[in-house]
């Protein structure tokens, strides 16, 4: 009887967050099949650890498991986790001076955005995904990623700067011609 109650509580707590779990795993490990394995493993670990879950934010609790499982996977599969090479070296970008003349991010270039995110180091990508796609607060991100809030803030700021610079610095043929 207790087992059934536990199962029901577990389902209600974590099944609604399956998309969030998959999204995070997918962004951390790049590959859909690996992400599925990571999610299955995460649910298994979450089930095993469910006794220790005292209620509260089930999504963050599950995402912490997914994040840890993903990093364990990454550590074992380093060679498969080469960041896709962006067209532009990251070091060349990220000037701290914003020139108001450079165009704002262009609309709807989703593939480019996807590549730009994939090009970020995983520690930067992680906080952007959790903030912008999962909409976690700084406190929640600090719990899931096990980082001090100050580190969350600085990584997020730097990640945004890199993304915005990457997306604004287009090869000339992709730029919309600006009539003078």
Contact footprint for another protein (CB under 8 A) = 3-4, 7-8, 10-12, 15-16, 18-19, 21-23, 26-27, 32-33, 35-41, 43-44, 47-48, 73, 97-98, 100, 104-105, 107-111, 113-114, 117, 128, 131-133, 135, 137-138, 153, 156-157, 160, 163-164, 167-168
Taking the C-alpha atoms of residue 11 and residue 17, their distance in angstroms, rounded to an integer, is: 10
Neighbours of 24 (CB within 10 A): 27
Place of tokens 């020139």: 99
Q: For residue 39, which of 11, 82, 68, 12 has the smallest C-alpha distance?
A: 68
Q: Is 30 helix (H, G, I), strand (E, B) or coil?
A: coil
Name the residue nearer to another protein (CB basis): 48 or 121: 48
Question: Cβ of residue 74: shortest distance to another protein, in angstroms?
Answer: 13
Q: How far is CA 173 from CA 24, 52, 167, 177, in A?
A: 33, 56, 14, 9
Question: Cβ of residue 180: shortest distance to another protein, in angstroms?
Answer: 22
Name the residue nearer to another protein (CB basis): 24 or 64: 24
Taking the C-alpha atoms of residue 58 and residue 41, their distance in angstroms, rounded to an integer, is: 17
Question: Cβ of residue 175: shortest distance to another protein, in angstroms?
Answer: 16
Question: Cβ of residue 81: shortest distance to another protein, in angstroms?
Answer: 15
Question: Cβ of residue 50: shortest distance to another protein, in angstroms?
Answer: 11
């Amino acid at each position: 009887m207790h087992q059934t109650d536990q199962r029901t509580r577990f389902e209600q707590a974590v099944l609604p967050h399956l998309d969030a779990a998959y999204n995070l795993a997918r962004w951390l490990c790049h590959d859909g099949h690996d992400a599925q394995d990571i999610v299955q493993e995460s649910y298994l670990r979450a089930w095993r650890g469910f006794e220790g879950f005292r209620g509260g934010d089930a999504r963050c609790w599950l995402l912490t498991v997914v994040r840890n499982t993903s990093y364990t996977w990454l550590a074992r599969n380093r060679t498969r986790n080469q960041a896709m090479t962006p067209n532009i070296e990251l070091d060349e970008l990220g000037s701290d001076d914003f020139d108001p003349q450079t165009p704002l991010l262009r609309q709807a270039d989703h593939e480019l955005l996807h590549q730009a995110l994939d090009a970020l180091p995983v520690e930067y990508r992680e906080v952007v995904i959790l903030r912008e796609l999962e909409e976690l607060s700084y406190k929640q991100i600090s719990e899931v990623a096990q980082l001090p809030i100050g580190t969350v803030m600085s990584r997020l700021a730097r990640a945004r700067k890199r993304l915005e610079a990457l997306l604004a610095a287009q090869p000339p043929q992709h730029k919309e011609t600006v009539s003078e």
